[in-house]
Structure 1
Amino acid sequence: MPVTPPICDFGWPAPAFSLPAIDGRKVSLCDVKGEKGTLVMFICNHCPYVLAVMDRIIRDAKELQTLGVGVVAISANDATAYPADSFENMQKMAEERQFPFPYLYDESQEVARAYDAACTPDFFGFDAQGGLQYRGRLDASTKQAGPDDLRRDLFEAMKQVALTGKGPQEQIPSMGCSIKWKES
């Protein structure tokens, strides 16, 4: 059953993090922060919602980076229960797809909890000062990519943040598979 995250809490401060990247580095929020804003995405390797739009995520990330928006992706799924989401498989996917952004592993799931991430994909768009301005969908795609001419909600919202510092008042939540939490 698909999960939808809560609506945008404008101005909510981005929680700091320092996580291992697939290239062996430790990457922090400060390392990825963009001059005009920052996009933090919670994704994973196995979710059909993510896989359906991965090419669009990559396209939008590249274009947002040219506008001064920093971009990072984080996987927080329980890789023991979902081996497709293992660190090794994250490395393979990022290499195959040529991710233009760091792909980080939140093995403890502490960062996902700090962000209150609900699903994959879950997008958090912050302004240059680190205040939340967007918590919405990539576009109207679901488990299948929609038509190529769909409105690019995430891209348009983050472009607006880059240009004005403010996200759109009207936002449609993302939809996807739930974060695969470890059993306590």
Structure 2
Amino acid sequence: MKTLKLLAVMVLVCTLSAFTITTEDKGYEVGDIATDFSLENIDGNMVSLSDYKDAKGFIVIFTCNTCPYAVAYEDRVEVLNKKYAAKGYPVIAIMPNNTNVKPGDNMEAMKARAKAKGFTFPYLMDKGQEVYPQYGATKTPHVYILEKTEKGNKVQYIGAIDDNYKDASLVKEKYAENALNALIEGRDVEVNKTRAIGCSIKV
């Protein structure tokens, strides 16, 4: 009888452990409060969300140099920053890849790419690959729109920038912009989660 009880306890512990791991691995859902971070920018400074005292929220985008999907969206990310930073929602770009696997995403390459493209937003490196798993990001690009609230930075949208990575002129649904416009106007975000299209994050 004692053996059976011990076995039952062990099974329960294993089940709970598996559940805990799964819960942690899934990342944020819409409505969750995102934890702040401190990551190195291409200018050598450390950047945190808390640095932006006057921001109303953030457009956090996990992206990189080497993924063709991310490259296809670079200009659109710049447009987002120019359009919405002044309205209180700046872009915070984060490079999540393991640079041993993707040396084209190392800090020097990030600096060169940002200079060549004229990025007006911070381009941070998730050097220890600790931030992207918290968010649950799986692709480059992968977008998380946060809104500052009394409880913290609330996740209001997760997914793709829009519905056509190939051609900006053929976009029919601007998911990120629609979400941002709703937040700025005090409305609920109607489509708050879409499927991110891009390259898998390299670990």
User: TM-score band, normalised by the shorter chain?
Assistant: 0.7 to 0.9
- Distance in 1, matches of 2:124 and 2:53, equals 14
Residue 105 (1) aligns with residue 128 (2)? no
Amino acid at match of 1:167: V
Unaligned 5+ segments in structure 2 are: 1-25
Change (3 A) 1:34 1:49: farther
Is the alpha carbon distance of 1:165 and 1:13 closer, same or farther for their aligned partners in structure 2, counting shifts above 3 Å? Answer: farther
Shift of the alpha carbon at 1:165?
Answer: 6.3
In the other structure, the counterpart of 1:76 is: 96
Q: Is the 8 A contact 2:140 2:198 kept in 1?
A: yes
- What letter matches 1:22 in structure 2? I
Partner of 1:3: none
How far 1:147 sits from its partner (Å)? 2.6
TM-score, normalising length from structure 2? 0.79
Percentage of pairs with the same residue:
34
Asked whether the equivalents of residues 142 and 158 of structure 2 are also in contact (C-alpha less than 8 Å), the reply is yes
Corresponding residue for residue 32 of structure 2: 12
Task: Flag the structure with larger Rg.
Answer: 2
Moved more, 105-114 or 152-161: 152-161
| Change over 3 Å in CA distance of 1:47–1:20 after alignment to 2 | same
Q: Aligned partners of 1:115 and 1:50: how far apart in 2? A: 18
Distance in 2, matches of 1:139 and 1:46, equals 20
* Structure whose residues are more often helix by fraction: 2
Contact 1:20 / 1:105 at 8 angstroms: preserved in 2? Answer: yes
CA distance in 2, matches of 1:160, 1:167: 6
* Aligned partners of 1:79 and 1:86 also within 8 Å: yes
| Structure number with higher relative contact order (C-alpha < 8 Å, ≥ 6 residues apart) | 1
Per-residue deviation at 1:107? 1.0
Q: Does 1:162 align with 2:184?
A: yes
Normalised by the size of structure 1, how large is the TM-score?
A: 0.86
The residue that corresponds to 1:36 in the other structure is 56
How large is the Cα RMSD of the aligned pairs?
A: 2.0
Give 4+ residue runs of structure 1 displaced > 6 Å after superposition. none
Point out where structure 1 has 5 or more consecutive residues left out of the alignment. 1-5
Determine the structure 2 residue equivalent to 1:151.
Answer: 173
